[in-house]
Every structure is written in structure tokens, then in C-alpha cells.
Structure 1
Amino acid sequence: MLVQILIILLFILIALLFYLIFKPVDIHAVFKNNNSDINGYIHINYILFEFIFDIPNRLLKINLKIYSHKFTILTLTIINDESSKETDELNFKESIKEIISNIIDAKEDLLKIVKLLTETCKFKKSHINMNLGLNNNNSTIKLCSMIWAITAPFYPLGLDVLLVPEINKFIIKTDMDVSFNIFLYKLIQIIIKIITTENLRKLIKSIIG
């Protein structure tokens, strides 16, 4: 009798595990910026949990949703930087140089991540509009070409990308509204890929730093 109960519990645990890893994670990201003037958020829903990341304030909030009720279980400030606007602008230009260098180094690894995403992502109505200029026209065209190559596989999946190169000026202006879902096991696979790949780690660190 005990053995039968244990077998039933084992089957229940296996079924629960399959339910969890094959349950889609809903992700909605809104991001707008004009150089260092940044606004937006990332909203993630998974079963009973809701994760909200306020980008300009670097504030992470985790909520538990039960029926129509919502309970905040964690609020965390990732970074609290009180720098001036002038310092922000200077830091932004310096960080952009580092990010571009890391994107170039991580291009092949990024394309592998794109391949993983295209195998599982289901986009709702989504768009990314960007005006990009880096003062140096050769650098602008090179980076734009790289972004076009990375984003092209998403066009058939419902993600519209409009990238406008800006000549002889420095500007990074973005209007992004992206909504999609992805299976948890694929998300875990991507996270492991990022953690175990040095170029991707450096790129993520330069973006969030």
C-alpha cells in the first residue's frame, strides 16, 4: 500500500514538473529613451507570480496574485544612482561605447540566442522603432547592419523593427513595445547560455551597469 502511494505521489510530482516547465511565461517590455532620458518597464507573469521592473528607478517588485487579490512579497532597488543630468549624459555616451564593443564581440553568441528565441517565442502585436547615430558614420552603419541581422528572424514572428541610421550626429532614440510568451524550459536554457558565455555576461553587465 505504501509503495503504491509513493508511486502515485511520484507521478503527481512528475506531472507537476512538466506543467511548470511547459507553462508559458508572459513577458511585456515597454522602453522609451532619448539618449540618457530613459523610461519604461518589464512586466512578467508566470502562474501566480508577477514581476515588475521599473527601468528608470531600477526597482523590482514581485507580487503574488490569488484570484482578484494581489500581494507584494518583495520590493528591491537594484541600483540607486543620484547623479546629475550632465553626469548621466556623459556616463551614457561612455557606456554606449562599451555596449557597442561588447555587442560586436558577442555577435555570434547573440545569433545563437536569437535562434533559441525564434524556436519558441510567440509575439503579440510588438514593435521596436529606433533612430541610431554614433557621430562616426562607419560605426553607425556597422552597428545598424548588425542590429538588422540580429532582428531579421523575428519579422515573420510578429515583431516589427524600424531602424533609422542618423548621419553625422549622436542620437539613440528608442520606442519599444514588445509582448511575447516563452516556455519556461527555453527561458532557463537561454539564462544558462548567458551565464556560461563570457561575451554575453560582459554584454549584460555593460547594459545593466
Structure 2
Amino acid sequence: MNLPLFLIIIIALIIIFLILYNGLRILLSVEKEKGMVNYEFKVTMLKIAIFKREGTKGIIESIKGSNEDKETEDEGSKSQKKGKKEKEEEEEDEEDKGLKEKIDDIKPILKELKKSKDELKDFLKNILKAINIKRLEGNLILGLDDNSTTIKIASWIWSIGAIVNDEKKTSLTVDPRFKENIIDFEGKVELKLNLLILLIYTLILLSKKNIRELIKELYRQKKAKDESKNKSKDESKETDSTNEK
């Protein structure tokens, strides 16, 4: 191996290491004001946004719309219930059979999961080390009909805030209102996910025999399911071709 190629490989490895170590930054901000919710979800790597989604949603309008749809469905379903009763009974029998088959399929997976529970538990504990809370902010604007309830809830939040609040990371506050009925809030969560630590513990997890057996069983189930689908498709094609003849 010549020297320039060796240097290129070393530089590439260093860059990959820095990217993995720097990891991802995940930001979620939500603000609710007067029945409207504004949200933003952003994922960045090396200060470059690789995913971003933001929008606004009206809570009251969505609730009204869902209620209207439900009323329409209720009116239409009343006239169809009688005719569908026998069909539903047949479908229930088929569903019961299908459910039994699904349970039989899941049993081997559950067996492997039971064997792997210690490894999975350790993995979940370890990946928490890869998550670093950079910022956690929340502010609740609260005004209820009963002022005493408003004071109680506000005092609970103040008590929690006094314990967890930090100048840099955490800030939980409440703004009680006694002359209006209102529940508004805004919050921000910013996390840093260390991909290097996550990768290391994932590789350690995959090195465990029980986990490999679990993956094999999942793959076997998927393969059997795909084969069953392909078989049913072939049978339906044969039936269609026979009917055409």
C-alpha cells in the first residue's frame, strides 16, 4: 500500500469517527396558543439540517371534523347493520382462525425474546449513555375556573422546577392566570445522539448468541410470510387464467 492511499484511508476514518462522535442533534419545539398548535422537528448533523418538518394544526377544527365524520358514519351504519350481521359473524370466525395462526407464528419469536431479555435490557440501559439532553424548556400558561386548582397545579410545577431547573439545560415554568380560562403551553427539547456509542453497543448486542438466534427467527418468519404471499398470488393468477379460458 503506497503512502498517499494510506493517508487517504486514515483521513477518511478520522472524518467518519468525528461524524459518529458528533452524532445527531434532535430539536422538537411545540407551542399551543388559542386552539392552534405550532410545531417544529429538526435533525441536524455537523450543524447541517438533514431533516426538518414544521407546521400548524388547529385543535378545535380537527375535533369538530372528527365529530362530524363520526355522526355521518353513525347515520349510515344504522341502515347497514342488519344486512351485515351475518357477514360479520363469518368474518369473526375467519379472524379467530387467523388470530390463532398469528399466535402460533409469534410463539417462536417470543421464546427467543425471552432468552434475549437480559441482553436487550442491558442494551437499552447502555444506549441511554448515547443520549444527552442539551435543553429542556417548558412554560405552561394556566387559568382554570377554580382558582384554587390553578394555584395547586402551579405550585406543583414550581416545586418540580425548583428541583430540576438548571441555568443551561432545564427550565420548567408556569404562568398562572386568575381572570381567564386558558391552557396554553410552549416547550422545547433538544437532544444529542452520539452515534459512535450507539454503534459500539449495537455491535456488542449483535455479538450475543441469543440476539443472533432472535434475528434468525425473525428472518425465518419473514421469509415464510413472503413465500406464503407469493404462493397465494400464483394461485390467484392460475384461477384467473382458468376462468378466462
Same fold, TM exceeding 0.5? no
TM-score (norm 2): 0.35
TM-score (norm 1): 0.39
